[in-house]
Every structure is written in structure tokens, then in C-alpha cells.
């Protein structure tokens, strides 16, 4: 095994192997701060800087070797000098970002090869569907893990992480740990950033699932076309065995009819042409009653979740697990699904309004969330939300329009303004709000939620959108502890003032 982990084995394709060491490297990483003594640092070009900008830290941590990605405008003199002075070898690897995952996979002895990996992409619904798939697989007796916005690991035992899809090396390290832990299937969220940055190039997906594609992250991708192109990448990978496609969605419909696409395609949606068709999703006190047509056969199934999009997410989940499983068994497991924390999560207290905490932070998601809670609302619908700073500005007015159109009252507040002015963000949302709907502003999020709950009567619903499971509020450089779920829980039980 040590030979397989040596610089010679890992970097032979790019450098004369005679010059490379056969000693096992102690570790590998793409982040200078994580370099271990005797390890490999892979310095790649990023959107802000280059890994070589941090070579001093890598050397200080004891890097034995530095592989780096040449780019046109990269100034390497300083880094080369530092490495020479420290006696650290450097190897130039063209397009290293694309190869980093494969190098790490070799280092960890191809951990993903023994795992059944299901990738889920789309603008909204990735966490919900990945969570659903892993939970249903567990219920069906398959040791399954989850990787995504809520963390990674076995369902119910997640370790949190800052990214939805980790970097290419971290992913392989996690696959190795999951393989050791006896996991057989992994449901993972694949973000558009990850697809654009080659984080998943070395992940051998068995199945790719598409939720829906709307508008998000235009700050990063630049255009809807580039964003869609990034999402499309997951479905064109050679070796893919199955594709689960929402054909109510434009991109899903396009992928379903694409010539020469890899793997079998299973479609879902409300349209009659879908293999898994949603005929109806009737609101019930406990959630939804679904009527489905599965390959021509009509079936009903309870779902303990609310919001029509959760019915669609249930179909996506079903599509992924209907792989040699009888439909009855899969439907029974689906009926046991619980809401994902902060995703259409209901808070109910006697004599109080229904409060729903949801992670809707895109126009499509906000629209779907408001439409989803309306059938569970006898009285008025109040929507508390804001928009993140240093993120796509174009969505703000759109979300103002949607909230003022679909709610009876809007309360605008902070949602991680980050480096932007909270007032300016709120003004941009307000510019889209329709004048006929009352719209109030309270920047302090806890106070805004409190005022909304106090203004609401039993039978009304307060939808608190945008932060879902998050446990912090980021204002400028300050990160303070804040949770919509905790605020709502405390306010409903009278424990917070
Ligand atoms: C825009 C974006 O995706 N940025 C991610 C990307 O950074 P980057 O390409 O700009 O890298 P960079 O900062 O220029 O640095 C270049 C290289 O130097 C390395 N570096 C950097 C700093 C340092 O001290 N030491 C060091 O070695 C970096 O690891 C990187 O390899 O690669 C970095 C290393 O993996 C990530 O930390 C960083 O995530 C930033 C913090 C981020 O906020 N990303 C968000 C937007 C994101 O990726 N979100 C998606 C989900 C979105 C959704 O919910 O749909 C996600 O998958 O999480
Ligand atoms: N299929 C769907 N269609 C439209 N909206 C959805 C769908 N599924 C979930 N949503 C909405 O999007 C929000 C986020 O859901 P979820 O966390 O599952 O998505 P995500 O794609 O993982 O989001 P992120 O990219 O932020 O991680 C939910 O709280 C809900 O409002
Ligand atoms: N993954 C998304 C989440 C946004 C959630 C919202 N609360 C915000 O901060 O904008 C992002 O980082 O853009
Ligand atoms: Mg997610």
C-alpha cells in the first residue's frame, strides 16, 4: 500500500518518475492549512487566488511535495524560491484541479469503487432528496450515508461542514471513511459550484438525479446558460447507469430526450409522459396524501411532509430507490420520511398560529413554499424573509414580488447581509413588492419573527423563509448565533421575549 501512496505512484503521469520518491506520503490536501508533515499539497487555481499564494503555510506545516497548476498569469518565482530554500520538491501538473480527485482516489485506494453513489443536483431540493434517498435506503436495510448542506455521514449522525459539496480530495477521504464504516450507498448533493470546479470529476456516480432548475448563483456563474451547463455536466458522465429526471422541468425534459446520453432514464413529474407521475397531492393534517402512477399502475401513499414540491421530491427519491426494489416496499419506507430540519418544518402549539420554517432562499423556492403552506392556512399568511448579502442581487426584487403576491403580509428582515448594507438589501427586495400587500421592515430577525407571530391568530400561518437549518447570522464580519428554529420554538412556548 505504501508504494501506491508515494509521489511516484500518484504523479507519475506528469513527471519523469525517476525523480520521484517511493516513500508513502503522509497525507494529501488542496488546503494549505490542512497540510500534514510529510504530505502532498495540491495548489490549484481558484476564483480568488491560487494555492501557491499559500505555499509558505504548506511549507511551515511540513509539506514533502507540492503539486501545482500552471496558469497563464501565475507568478511562480517567489513560490519556487521558498520551496527551494525549504528543500520541498515541486511538480507542475497542467489542469491539476481536474486531476486532484483522481490522484486522491488513487491515494485512498479507489474508495468509491465499492460504493453505490447517487448524485442529486438542481436549484432547490438537493438536500431534501438526498436526505430522502439515504433515509429510505436505510429503512430498506442498506447501510447508507449522506453528503450535503447539512453535513456528511450516516443519517442522524451527520458531521457538519461549510460546503454542500466538499473539495475533490476531501470527498475521496470521506468515501474512504464511509467504506471503512461499512456504508454501501451514498446519496450526495452536487452543487453547481462543485460541477463547475471539477470537485466531483473523480466520483463514479451510479445514478444522477435532477430536481428542478431555476435561478441561483448567477453571481458566480454569470448567466443562466452557464449555470444550466454546470448542472448538465452531472448527466453526461460516461459510466452513469441511471438518470432520474424531472420532466416538468425544461432541463429535465431536454436531458430525457438527449441523444447518446449515458444510462437508463427514469422520468418523473406531473405530466402524463412521466414514468412516475404525480396525479395529486392532497393536503392532510399530517402532511400529504399522494396519488401516483408508477409505470402505469395507480397507487396512493401518505407523506409526512407538506408543500407540493415535497411530493415531487418524494417522486425523485422513489425513482432513485426503485432499483430492484418492489414499489410497495419503497412506498412504505417513503411514508415514514420525516421533514429535514428547516425544510417546511412545522411548529405547532395550541391556540397559536402555525409557524413553518423553510430554507426557501431562491425565487422558485419561495414561490413553492408559499404555495405549499396556503392549503394548510385557514386565515392569513404572513411571510418573514430577507436575502443574503454578497449573493445574486437579481433575485431580490423577484422574491419581493413573489412574497407580496402570494402572502397576505410581508415582513422583511436580515438574512446574512454579510458585507452588504442590510438596508440596501431590504430596499432591493422592497422595490419588487406590490403596493397592495402590507410590507413591514424589522432588521433584527428574532424581533421580526416575534412581531409576525404576535400579529397572527390561530388559523393563520407564519412562514419564516431563507435560513432553514442555519445556526448563525452573518452581519459584516460578525457571525452571531441565531436559529429560526430556536427562535420560533421559544416564541411559541413563551420562553423568549
Ligand atoms: C466560489 C467558490 O465556490 N469558492 C470555493 C473555492 O474557492 P476558490 O476556487 O475561489 O479558491 P481560492 O480562494 O481562490 O483559493 C485557491 C486555492 O487555494 C487554496 N487555499 C485558499 C486559502 C488558504 O488559506 N489556503 C489554501 O490552500 C484553496 O483551497 C483553493 O484550492 O474552493 C475553496 C476550497 O475548496 C472553497 O472554500 C470556496 O468556497 C467558498 C468559501 C464558498 O463560499 N463557496 C460557496 C459559494 C459554495 O461552493 N457553495 C456551494 C453550494 C451552493 C448551493 O447551496 O447551491 C457548495 O458546494 O457548498
Ligand atoms: N423540488 C423543489 N422545487 C422547488 N422548491 C423546492 C424543492 N425542494 C425544496 N424546495 C425549496 O427549497 C428549499 C431548500 O430545499 P433543499 O435544502 O432541499 O434544497 P437545496 O437544493 O439543497 O438547497 P441549497 O442549494 O441551498 O443547499 C426548501 O426549503 C424549499 O423551500
Ligand atoms: N448555499 C446558499 C445558501 C443561502 C442561504 C441564505 N440564508 C443566504 O445566506 O443567502 C448560499 O450560500 O448561497
Ligand atoms: Mg442543499
Instruction: Enter the ipTM.
Output: 0.95
Same domain, 199 and 327: yes
Same domain, 129 and 278: yes
Cβ–ligand 3 contact at 386 (below 6 Å): no
What is the total count of domains within the chain? Answer: 3
Whether residue 430 is contained in a domain is answered as: yes
Same domain, 423 and 460: yes
Q: Across 137-275, where does the E strand assignment appear?
A: 144-148, 151-154, 185-189, 207-210, 242-246, 264-269
pLDDT, position 285: 83
Of 322, 135, 324, the residue nearest 144 (C-alpha):
135
> Which CATH number fits the domain that encloses residue 17?
3.40.1390.10
Q: Indicate the residue among 315, 334, 353 that finishes a domain.
A: 334
Whether residue 339 is contained in a domain is answered as: no
CA–CA distance, 279 with 166 (Å, rounded to integer): 37
Integer-rounded Cα radius of gyration of the chain: 24
Tell me the pLDDT of the chain (497 aa) as tens digits. Answer: 446 799 888 998 888 766 677 889 999 999 999 999 999 999 999 988 999 999 999 999 999 999 999 998 888 889 999 999 999 999 999 999 999 999 999 999 999 999 999 999 999 899 999 999 999 999 999 999 999 999 999 998 999 998 999 999 999 999 999 999 999 999 999 999 999 999 999 999 999 999 998 766 677 767 888 888 989 999 999 899 999 999 999 999 999 999 888 999 999 999 999 999 999 999 988 899 999 999 889 999 999 999 988 999 999 999 999 998 899 999 999 999 999 999 999 999 999 999 999 999 999 999 999 999 999 999 999 999 999 999 999 999 999 999 999 999 999 999 999 999 999 999 999 999 999 999 999 999 999 999 999 999 999 999 999 999 999 999 999 999 999 999 999 999 886 54
Residue nearest to atom 44 of ligand 1 (CA): 163
The H or E element containing residue 173 is helix 168-180
Cβ–ligand 3 contact at 388 (below 6 Å): yes
Same domain, 162 and 310: yes
Residue nearest to atom 21 of ligand 2 (CA): 124
Cell of residue 183, nine digits: 456504508
Whether residue 340 is contained in a domain is answered as: no
Residue 232 labelled as part of a binding site: no
pTM to 2 decimals? 0.91
Query: What dihedral angle (degrees, nearest 10) is formed by the CA atoms of 37, 39, 42, 43?
Result: 20
Same domain, 276 and 393: no
CA–CA distance, 128 with 145 (Å, rounded to integer): 14
Same domain, 271 and 287: yes
Task: Give the number of C-alpha atoms closer than 13 A to the C-alpha of residue 52, restricted to the C-beta side.
Answer: 22
Same domain, 184 and 120: yes
Of 33, 29, 27, 74, the residue nearest 52 (C-alpha):
74
For the chain, how many residues are written?
A: 497
Same domain, 120 and 174: yes
Q: Indicate the residue among 106, 130, 147 that finishes a domain.
A: 106
Q: Indicate the residue among 106, 141, 158 that finishes a domain.
A: 106
Same domain, 408 and 426: yes
Same domain, 98 and 114: no
Same domain, 305 and 183: yes
- Contact between 426 and 441 (Cβ < 8 Å): yes
Whether residue 175 is contained in a domain is answered as: yes
Domain range spanning residue 79?
Answer: 5-106
Using the 8-state DSSP alphabet, how is residue 158 labeled? P
**By three-state DSSP, how is residue 374 classified?**
helix
Of 62, 43, 41, the residue nearest 53 (C-alpha):
43
Task: Tell me the CA end-to-end span of the chain in Å, nearest whole number.
Answer: 60
Cell of residue 58, nine digits: 504548506
Any idea which ligand is nearest the CA of 121?
2
Using the 8-state DSSP alphabet, how is residue 435 labeled? T
Question: How many whole angstroms from 148 Cα to the centroid of ligand 3?
Answer: 14
- Which of 218, 388, 419 gets mutated to test ligand 3 (max ligand atoms within 8 A of its CB)? 388
Query: What dihedral angle (degrees, nearest 10) is formed by the CA atoms of 107, 113, 115, 121?
Result: 90
Burial class (CB in 10 A: 0-12, 13-18, 19+), 374: middle
Whether residue 240 is contained in a domain is answered as: yes
pLDDT, position 495: 65
Same domain, 172 and 99: no
- Contact between 293 and 111 (Cβ < 8 Å): no
Question: How many whole angstroms from 237 Cα to the centroid of ligand 2?
Answer: 24
Whether residue 57 is contained in a domain is answered as: yes
Amino acid at each position: 500500500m505504501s508504494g501506491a501512496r508515494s509521489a511516484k505512484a500518484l504523479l507519475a503521469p506528469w513527471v519523469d518518475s525517476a525523480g520521484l520518491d517511493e516513500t508513502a506520503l503522509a497525507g494529501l490536501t488542496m488546503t494549505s492549512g490542512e497540510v500534514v508533515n510529510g504530505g502532498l499539497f495540491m495548489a490549484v487555481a481558484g476564483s480568488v487566488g491560487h494555492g501557491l499564494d499559500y505555499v509558505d503555510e504548506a511549507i511551515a506545516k511540513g509539506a514533502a511535495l507540492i503539486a501545482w497548476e500552471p496558469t497563464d498569469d501565475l507568478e511562480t518565482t517567489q513560490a519556487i524560491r521558498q520551496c527551494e530554500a525549504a528543500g520541498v520538491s515541486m511538480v507542475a501538473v497542467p489542469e491539476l484541479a481536474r486531476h486532484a480527485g483522481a490522484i486522491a482516489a488513487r491515494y485512498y485506494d479507489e474508495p468509491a469503487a465499492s460504493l453505490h453513489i447517487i448524485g442529486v443536483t438542481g436549484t432547490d431540493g438537493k438536500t431534501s432528496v438526498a436526505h430522502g434517498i439515504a433515509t429510505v435506503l436505510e429503512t430498506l436495510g442498506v447501510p447508507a450515508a449522506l453528503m450535503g448542506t447539512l453535513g456528511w455521514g450516516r443519517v442522524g449522525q451527520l458531521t457538519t461542514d461549510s460546503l454542500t459539496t466538499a473539495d475533490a480530495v476531501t470527498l475521496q477521504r470521506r468515501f474512504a471513511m464511509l467504506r471503512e464504516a461499512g456504508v454501501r450507498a451514498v446519496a450526495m448533493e452536487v452543487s453547481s459550484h462543485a460541477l463547475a470546479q471539477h470537485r466531483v470529476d473523480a466520483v463514479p456516480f451510479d445514478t444522477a438525479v435532477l430536481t428542478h432548475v431555476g435561478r441561483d448563483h448567477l453571481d458566480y456563474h454569470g448567466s443562466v446558460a452557464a449555470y444550466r451547463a454546470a448542472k448538465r455536466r452531472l448527466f453526461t458522465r460516461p459510466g452513469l447507469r441511471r438518470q432520474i429526471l424531472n420532466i416538468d422541468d425544461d432541463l429535465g425534459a431536454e436531458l430525457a430526450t438527449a441523444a447518446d446520453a449515458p444510462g437508463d432514464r427514469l422520468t418523473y413529474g406531473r405530466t402524463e409522459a412521466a414514468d412516475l407521475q404525480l396525479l395529486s397531492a392532497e393536503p392532510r393534517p399530517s402532511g400529504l396524501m399522494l396519488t401516483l402512477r408508477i409505470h402505469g399502475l395507480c397507487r396512493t401513499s401518505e407523506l409526512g411532509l407538506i408543500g407540493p414540491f415535497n411530493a415531487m421530491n418524494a417522486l425523485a427519491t422513489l425513482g432513485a430507490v426503485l432499483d430492484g426494489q418492489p414499489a410497495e416496499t419503497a412506498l412504505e419506507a417513503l411514508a415514514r420520511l420525516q421533514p429535514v430540519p428547516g425544510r417546511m418544518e412545522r411548529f405547532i402549539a395550541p391556540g397559536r398560529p402555525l409557524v413553518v420554517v423553510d430554507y426557501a432562499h431562491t425565487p422558485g423556492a419561495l414561490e413553492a413554499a408559499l404555495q405549499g403552506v396556503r392549503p394548510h392556512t385557514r386565515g392569513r399568511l404572513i411571510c418573514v424573509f430577507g436575502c443574503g448579502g454578497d449573493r445574486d442581487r437579481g433575485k431580490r426584487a423577484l422574491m419581493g414580488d413573489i412574497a407580496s403576491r402570494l402572502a397576505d403580509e410581508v415582513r422583511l428582515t436580515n438574512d446574512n447581509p454579510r458585507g452588504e448594507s442590510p438596508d440596501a438589501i431590504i430596499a432591493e427586495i422592497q422595490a419588487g413588492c406590490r403596493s397592495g400587500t402590507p410590507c413591514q421592515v424589522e432588521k433584527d430577525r428574532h424581533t421580526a419573527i416575534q412581531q409576525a407571530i404576535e400579529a397572527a391568530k390561530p388559523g393563520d400561518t407564519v412562514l419564516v423563509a431563507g435560513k432553514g437549518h442555519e445556526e448563525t447570522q452573518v452581519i459584516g464580519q460578525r457571525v452571531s448565533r441565531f436559529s429560526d428554529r430556536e427562535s420560533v420554538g421559544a416564541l411559541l412556548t413563551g420562553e423568549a421575549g
